[in-house]
Amino acid sequence: MMEVLKRVPLIRTKLFKCCFARTYIHTNLKPPKANQTLQRYLNSNCNTKAIIFFRELLRQNPSSIDSFSFLFVLKACTRKPFSLEGKELHAQLIKSGFHSIIHLQAVLVSFYSASGNLLDARRVFDEIPKKNVVSCTTLISAYVVNQKPQKAVELFREMQMLNVEADQVMLTVAFSACADLGALEMGEWIHAYVRRKPELEADLSLNNALINMYAKCGEIQTARKLFDSLGEKDVTTWTSMIVGHALHGQASEALELFAEMEEIKQKNSKNREGGNCGSTIILPNDVTFIGVLMACSHGGMVEKGKNCYQSMIEDYGLKPRDVHFGCMVDLFCRAGLLKEAYNFVIEMPGRANAVMWRTLLGACNVNGEIELGEKVKLQLLELEPGYVGDSVAMSNIYAAKGMWDKKVKVRDQIKQLRRAPGCSLIEVASEISEFVSGDDDHPLKVEIYEALEYLTVSMKTFDHSL
């Protein structure tokens, strides 16, 4: 009897399958369409299964594939991203004659952008006969994410000339590019564009991007006025302003704002406990604490910084990242606590990166710490052996202590290393130009060198006249 009972679920399953098979035959039910299956895989985030299923369709039933099939599977490739598979799909898409469909072209731009292949992303974008706001925003975002803000701003201006109507998302990304470049004039021009569109000004994400842009472009007072004028704020709003104050060395303002943020959080928590469900609790995130730790570092508030670092972990359950560790190292170094900084780096979880060691080496240079500087230099040799700046810093430490033999030895090593040329950006009449040391490719190089020669002569003449 027990054996029969054990077999009941199995018998029931077989009976169900049998009945289902009969129903399938008698009612002429059809299996799910190919696109429905692809979409189901996509919605379930089963991107690999979507690609495998699409390949099976190509081999066994190519007539079932249409432009939507390509759309779904390209989106699956974009999510990972599957670089090789996406390129194969692009080739197959051309063979199938779907390449001119604008929705597919937009997804291709998104795919290449997600892969970091900006050259092919731009090539596909240029092939789109009628650009829309989605395809434009995708490529502008890709330039910003891949640290090419100048190209992002140039493309935004190009789209304005083509009368592509910008939406909140495109404008937010454009502000981000201006912030990275420090292109205040261009940012102000975009802000004026937003003011002419009343429906855009109410967008919180856009206002957050504006605060960030003004703060990073040096207009901290304008950023603060905008911050104070906003009725609705989220964690990004608070964080942008706290980081902005910290970047400008305004430690007191940053920490006061953080204290206000925590006070509002506690007040809203009490309101929630009292039954007021409308009170929104805004918790600081890990980026907020970057601003707080930077402020403590610039203000020389070591104990406050240590307390905030512990609070981030214990009170808010946030896991410190490399940037937080770097802020703590900077905090100790600025206060002249080099041994404490060294111990912090040695004891921190995971391996310290070159930036942290380099911060400590710079502090050793300022404080004339030879022994500790040599230890730090050995760590940097393991991480980035070819970086010239580390050798220069060590050479300066030896020179400050009159250790000329060691200085000469390090200087000889420097001559064997190549240093990356420096570059600078300048904004004139909303146009951003990049200048690289020793670069002869600038289109206005003749005029630039003429102006430089004139300035050199003028300065020499002025010097002799004193």
User: What is the rounded distance in angstroms from the CA atom of residue 27 to the CA atom of residue 281?
Assistant: 56
Residues paired with 431 in a beta bridge: 428
Task: Report whether pLDDT(442) > 70.
Answer: no
User: What is the rounded distance in angstroms from the CA atom of residue 381 to the CA atom of residue 410?
Assistant: 13
pLDDT top residue among 208 and 443? 208
Q: How sure is the predictor about 18, in pLDDT bands with cuts at 50, 70 and 90?
A: very low
Mean pLDDT (the chain, rounded): 83
Q: How sure is the predictor about 400, in pLDDT bands with cuts at 50, 70 and 90?
A: confident
Give the closest residue to 172 by CA, choosing from 148, 154, 156: 156
User: What is the rounded distance in angstroms from the CA atom of residue 73 to the CA atom of residue 90?
Assistant: 11
* 58-68 mean pLDDT: 86
Task: Report the first-to-last Cα separation within the chain, whole angstroms.
Answer: 115
Helices (H), ranges, 234-285: 235-247, 251-273
pLDDT top residue among 10 and 175? 175
- As a dihedral over the C-alpha atoms of residue 399, residue 405, residue 410, residue 411, rounded to 10 degrees, the angle is 80
- The reported pTM is 0.75
Task: Report whether pLDDT(129) > 50.
Answer: yes
Give the closest residue to 293 by CA, choosing from 242, 357, 335: 242
Give pLDDT tens digits for 313-350: 999 999 999 999 999 999 999 999 999 999 999 999 98
CB atoms near residue 219 (< 10 Å): 17
* 431-455 mean pLDDT: 71
User: How many Cα atoms within 13 Å fall on the side-chain side of residue 94?
Assistant: 8
Give residue 310's pLDDT.
95
Share of the chain above pLDDT 90, in %: 42
Give residue 311's pLDDT.
95
All residues at 6 or more sequence positions from 100 whose CB lies less than 8 Å from its CB, including other chains: none
Task: Report whether pLDDT(228) > 90.
Answer: yes
Going from N- to C-terminal start, the domains of the chain cover 1-30, 32-139+165-180, 229-266+280-320, 423-460
Give residue 6's pLDDT.
39
Give residue 31's pLDDT.
45
Task: Report whether pLDDT(283) > 60.
Answer: yes
* 452-457 mean pLDDT: 81
Phi, psi of 458 (to 5 degrees): -60, -40
Give residue 420's pLDDT.
56
Give the 3-state secondary structure of residue 143.
helix
* 57-79 mean pLDDT: 87
CA angle in degrees (0–180, nearest 5) for 136-138-143: 95
For domain 32-139+165-180, give its CATH number from 1.10.3470, 1.25.40, 3.40.50, 2.40.30.
1.25.40
Q: How sure is the predictor about 161, in pLDDT bands with cuts at 50, 70 and 90?
A: confident
pLDDT top residue among 157 and 401? 157
- What CA–CA distances, in Å, run from 297 to 253, 306, 308, 340? 14, 10, 12, 14
Give residue 436's pLDDT.
66
Give residue 120's pLDDT.
92
Give residue 379's pLDDT.
92
Give pLDDT tens digits for 183-223: 999 999 999 988 888 877 778 999 999 999 999 999 999 99
Task: Report whether pLDDT(401) > 50.
Answer: yes
Give the closest residue to 258 by CA, choosing from 280, 240, 270: 240
Task: Report whether pLDDT(112) > 70.
Answer: yes
Give residue 15's pLDDT.
31
Q: How sure is the predictor about 241, in pLDDT bands with cuts at 50, 70 and 90?
A: very high
